[in-house]
Amino acid sequence: MICSSNSLYVLAKTSLTHQQVIYTNSWALYLSGTPEQINKIAKKHGFHILGKIFPDGNYYHMEQRGVAKQSLQAHYLHNLRLKMDPKVLWFAQQSGRSRNRRHSFTVPTDPFFNQQWYLVHSEAFNQNVVAAWARGYTGKGVVVSILDDGLETSHPDLAENYDPLASYDMNDNDPNPETQYSLTRPRRHGTRCAGVVAAVANNGMCGVGVAHQAKIGGVRMLDGQVTDLIEAMSLNLNQKHIDIYSASWGPEDLGRNLEGPNTLAKEAFIRGISNGRGGLGSIYVWASGNGGASFDNCNCDGYTNSIYTLSVGSTTEKGTLPFYSEPCSAILTTTYSGGSFQHHRIVTTDLHQSCTSDHTGTSASAPLAAGIIALALEANPRLTWRDVQHLVVRASRLADLRTHDWRTNGVGRPVSHYYGYGLLDAGRLVDLASKWKTVKPQKKCTIDLITRSFELRMKLTLRWNVTACHGTRNWIRSLEHIQARLTLTYSRRGDLSITLISPKKTISNLLTTRPYDKTSAGFSDWAFMSTHCWDEDPSGYWVLQIENNGDSNNRGTRISADILKLTKNNYPLFIECIYPLYGFENSCLMSCPPHYYVSNGNSTRSYQRCLPCHRNCLTCFGKQDTNCLDCPPYSTLDSRRSTCSPPVYPWDHKGKVTNGMDRTAAVLGILIGGPLVILFVMWAIAWMVSRSFLPRGAARNQVDISTSHSNDESRDVEMVVFSITESQAENSESTSTFTNIPNTSRET
């Protein structure tokens, strides 16, 4: 196996193995120009403009009505003409992507509130939701949108809370997300998820939603070809209005797929956490997956293991693992759901204005968590997306959840690859939220791990010492997420397991063996993520183990890796992007955010990146403090020198305050220092007079006594020599040597 150290800037690729690609008649294009120019380009290529993908960007959604809505091949002629047109800076014919609803088939029943065992306060089953209600929190003022297959908006248990501003039909491109009824393939998933969150209380219908006074919307986006464009537009729908997006879907849970968001969806996540909720960040709650029976691992799902999503696992009424539960180190918390046919399931709304007590899977757990988080946002509407993750970690508890892999991490918190930090406690969450102080801005620290060639046969262990960027402005002392990005080609990917061990001995199983994953595609700059080291100090020795658990004839041909630790930064790695996109951490954007400037701004080639401005500048054209374009509040821009003045606050002028302090210090110095000087002069005169009249013998005896005392003291003093030697070679240990040397002072 040959290693490469340049994987830090390689764009992640997703695997569509075992999936047949279906191309649609929709295109996403990046165009720059006036509306008239855009219309001319669309007309030239025979496209019909459906609108902008992002309201403030230059991505356009266009449709070619002369092309079949579904095809097994990309349209060669249209794509070639677009490629040859210099005014088309980027384009992509949209292809369908397999997204499965994470639920099991159930039969509707007649539920009642006393059947909602997961809400009722008891010692055995306690998410402590009633305690949050008793404090007056019911989700009022919070908006939740269900990204799924539609919503029965007229359902009597949803209609009162239905919010059309949080709803849209992305599949048919109209404002009505109404579900499409079918006898052979009922689209009930979105309606069921919505009832878990916000079913109306005290109306004599079905049960009660966790946040039964929250507003609920639905986005119909799974009932058709799911394209990158549709995902992106769903994730950013009305982001200033919607607080929480709940998604109970993802790539197929077959134990062999490796797939995540594409270009537009990645940018949508970035825009969501940056601009959503007025800059506080949209909350994305995600079902961890139902691939347990296929030995799947949710770290192979790029939606669940994203740092921008809050991944939710499931447990049964008895605190046991459901058969569908899949493990990974990205799961943050757990809520209740159904298990086998012997377990009670979740009560919710169903199609045809009916109810069911048979909702199950992580599809039920994610909206249950979304409803509990809605209660926390009512308690404190100023929570950021990172605040919510911090609170969820602290409000989750071991409870009675049973599994074999509970461990205590470096800060004393129990954590599991199936349950995250445990069962989410609604009462505890709202209590913490009501008095929570916003976390400080994030920082990032990136470490290149593999810088030379390795061959992986059965097991490869890498050990390295991390200073966590000590001595720089990115010094990290408390972790949030940690990502290990890996590029590896291997003869049978499913035989691999990957383990990361922190300096505090916390073990994160980044990847477990997947027997159905027989591909040799390996990993291409894939980001494995762990939340198990939350709040740990990252300084010290880390260990990464990559192990072949299959045939000894398995071979790897290429490996490269780097480690990214995140604690106080909104964005992770820089990557390469194709012109005209700019690389901003792990995504490609159309423009750089505030406080960043474009490197190689005049280039029409790759490697254009968004780099941070100097701390004195608000916006800039370079990294120096003489490259400012605009200044922070209370600073003034010198347009000739392109510099910003020190801040002058409106309540006082810094110069006046400094002068006043100087005058005060001078007065105090005179009042205190004057008497001290007089006392010192008087003492010096007295000492000189006494020396003049003392006998010589007495003076000599005084000196001898002092010297003798000094020698007695010096015998008890030792010299300590401390030396540390560090070796950066593989598997080397730091050695410390302490040498004690007695003091050999001579006596007279």
Domain extents in the chain: 2-6+441-566, 20-96, 110-434, 617-651
The residue-averaged pLDDT of 361-368 equals 95
Across the strands, what pairs with 628? 620
- ∠ at Cα 562 (487, 467), nearest 5°? 165
327 touches 297 (CB < 8 A)? yes
CA distance 475 to 567: 10
Query: 110-434 domain in CATH 3.40.50.200?
Result: yes
SS3 per-residue string spanning 283-350: EEEEECCCCHHHCCCHHHECCCCCCCEEEEEEECCCCCCCCCCCCCCCCCEEEECCCCCCCCCEEEEE
Q: Can you give the pLDDT at residue 698?
A: 39
The residue-averaged pLDDT of 626-635 equals 85
Q: Can you give the pLDDT at residue 11?
A: 30
The residue-averaged pLDDT of 708-730 equals 32
56 touches 271 (CB < 8 A)? no
Count other Cβ atoms within 10 Å, centred on residue 243.
27
List Cα–Cα distances, 93 to 63, 83, 264, 431, 540, in angstroms: 10, 12, 12, 48, 47
Q: Can you give the pLDDT at residue 343?
A: 85
Residue 601: name the closest of 636, 632, 626, 627 by CA.
Answer: 627
Residues whose CB is less than 8 angstroms from the CB of residue 109 and which lie 6 or more positions away in sequence, other chains included: 355, 356, 357, 358
| Helix axis angle, 263-275 to 228-235, nearest 10° | 10
The owner of tokens 């490269």 is: 560
User: Is 148 designated active site?
Assistant: yes
Q: How sure is the predictor about 74, in pLDDT bands with cuts at 50, 70 and 90?
A: very high
Query: Which residue in the list 15, 95, 325, 363 is annotated as catalytic?
Result: 363
Q: Can you give the pLDDT at residue 441?
A: 84
User: Is 163 designated active site?
Assistant: no
CA distance 310 to 322: 20
Higher pLDDT, 59 or 606: 59
Query: Which residue in the list 61, 155, 189, 344 is annotated as catalytic?
Result: 189
Higher pLDDT, 124 or 54: 54
pLDDT digits (tens, 9 = 90+) for 575-621: 456 566 777 765 667 677 778 888 764 444 445 778 888 888 888 88
SS3 per-residue string spanning 344-413: CCEEEEECCCEEEEEECCHHHHHHHHHHHHHHHHHHCCCCCHHHHHHHHHHHEECCCCCCCCCEECCCCC
Q: Can you give the pLDDT at residue 455?
A: 72
The residue-averaged pLDDT of 377-394 equals 97
Count other Cβ atoms within 10 Å, centred on residue 177.
29
Structure-derived torsion over alpha carbons of residues 683, 689, 691, 695, reported in degrees to the nearest 10: -140
* DSSP code of residue 436: P
The residue-averaged pLDDT of 172-190 equals 90
One-letter amino acid identity for 501?
I
Query: Residue 699 phi/psi, 5° resolution?
Result: -60, -40
pLDDT digits (tens, 9 = 90+) for 729-743: 333 333 333 333 344
With 70 as the cut, is the pLDDT of residue 722 above it?
no
- Whether the domain at 2-6+441-566 and the domain at 110-434 fall into the same CATH topology: no
Buried-exposed string 570-606: b where 16+ CB fall within 10 A, e elsewhere: bbbbbbbbeeebbbbbbbbbbebbeebbbbeeeeeee
The residue-averaged pLDDT of 226-242 equals 96
With 70 as the cut, is the pLDDT of residue 486 above it?
yes
Count other Cβ atoms within 10 Å, centred on residue 141.
13
Across the strands, what pairs with 348? 356
Bond prior to 261 in cis (omega within 30° of 0): no
Q: How sure is the predictor about 134, in pLDDT bands with cuts at 50, 70 and 90?
A: confident
CA distance 556 to 520: 9
| 62: helix, strand or coil | strand
Centroid of chain to Cα 675 = 62
The residue-averaged pLDDT of 350-354 equals 92
The residue-averaged pLDDT of 153-173 equals 96
219 touches 189 (CB < 8 A)? no
Rounded to a whole number, what is the distance in angstroms from the first to the last CA of the chain?
A: 71
Q: Can you give the pLDDT at residue 622?
A: 86
Across the strands, what pairs with 630? 619
User: Is 189 designated active site?
Assistant: yes
CA distance 189 to 152: 10
Higher pLDDT, 336 or 723: 336
pLDDT digits (tens, 9 = 90+) for 640-689: 888 999 888 665 444 444 455 566 666 777 777 778 888 888 888 887 77
Q: Can you give the pLDDT at residue 560?
A: 60
Higher pLDDT, 600 or 114: 114
Q: Can you give the pLDDT at residue 734?
A: 36
Q: Which CATH architecture has domain 20-96?
A: 2-Layer Sandwich (3.30)
Least confident stretch, 351-365, 492-506, 555-569: 555-569
pLDDT digits (tens, 9 = 90+) for 513-560: 999 999 988 898 899 999 999 999 988 999 989 998 888 777 675 566
Long-range CB pairs of 388-392 (<8 Å, 24+ gap) are: 388/283, 388/310, 389/310, 389/332, 389/480, 390/436, 390/439, 390/480, 391/429, 391/432, 391/433, 391/436, 392/310, 392/332, 392/333, 392/421, 392/424, 392/429
Least confident stretch, 282-291, 370-379, 560-569: 560-569
Higher pLDDT, 282 or 572: 282
Query: Residue 324 phi/psi, 5° resolution?
Result: -90, -5
List Cα–Cα distances, 447 to 236, 444, 738, in angstroms: 32, 10, 31
Q: Can you give the pLDDT at residue 594?
A: 74
Looking at 667-728, which runs of residues are DSSP E strands? 718-725
- ∠ at Cα 702 (696, 704), nearest 5°? 105
Q: Can you give the pLDDT at residue 14?
A: 35
The residue-averaged pLDDT of 294-311 equals 96
Query: Which residue in the list 148, 223, 517, 525 is annotated as catalytic?
Result: 148
CA distance 284 to 270: 11
CA distance 76 to 324: 41
Least confident stretch, 303-307, 386-390, 407-411, 650-654: 650-654
Higher pLDDT, 96 or 577: 96
Q: Can you give the pLDDT at residue 746?
A: 40
With 80 as the cut, is the pLDDT of residue 27 above it?
yes
Residues whose CB is less than 8 angstroms from the CB of residue 20 and which lie 6 or more positions away in sequence, other chains included: 72
Q: How sure is the predictor about 259, in pLDDT bands with cuts at 50, 70 and 90?
A: very high
Q: Can you give the pLDDT at residue 162?
A: 98
Query: How confident is the prediction for the chain on average, in pLDDT?
Result: 81
The residue-averaged pLDDT of 154-159 equals 95
- ∠ at Cα 545 (8, 496), nearest 5°? 90
| Helix axis angle, 385-395 to 426-434, nearest 10° | 130
Q: Can you give the pLDDT at residue 374?
A: 98
The residue-averaged pLDDT of 26-34 equals 93
Biggest alpha carbon–alpha carbon distance for the chain: 121
Query: Residue 206 phi/psi, 5° resolution?
Result: 55, -135
The residue-averaged pLDDT of 713-735 equals 31
CA distance 65 to 80: 17
> 2-6+441-566 maps to which CATH number?
2.60.120.260
Highest average pLDDT, of 105-119, 216-230, 513-527, 673-687, comes from 216-230
